[in-house]
Structure 1
């Protein structure tokens, strides 16, 4: 179990691949997309 092992996290890092042991980190949606920049606040 080490750098040469395909199934371990260390082995995935060494090979530069992804899998169930080392999933890709998904980008979170930016704040600008959540809040409309052009829309003005509604008056009460």
Structure 2
């Protein structure tokens, strides 16, 4: 497949395309890792909140 730029003689070389693809993959990996970390943080906070609620209930009893 040819990109618009290639048809006009302005296309990237295969090496440049590979480099861009690798860069995109790296960025996607980093984003996924960030999302995972955020999920873990949220889960931690939820667990802590549940703990606090349980402790409050125990004190009330």
Superposition TM-score, scaled by structure 1 size? 0.34
What TM-score do you get using the length of structure 2 for normalisation?
0.30
Give the number of the structure whose alpha-carbon radius of gyration is greater: 2
Bigger relative contact order, structure 1 or 2 (CA pairs below 8 A, ≥6 apart): 1
Higher helix share: 2
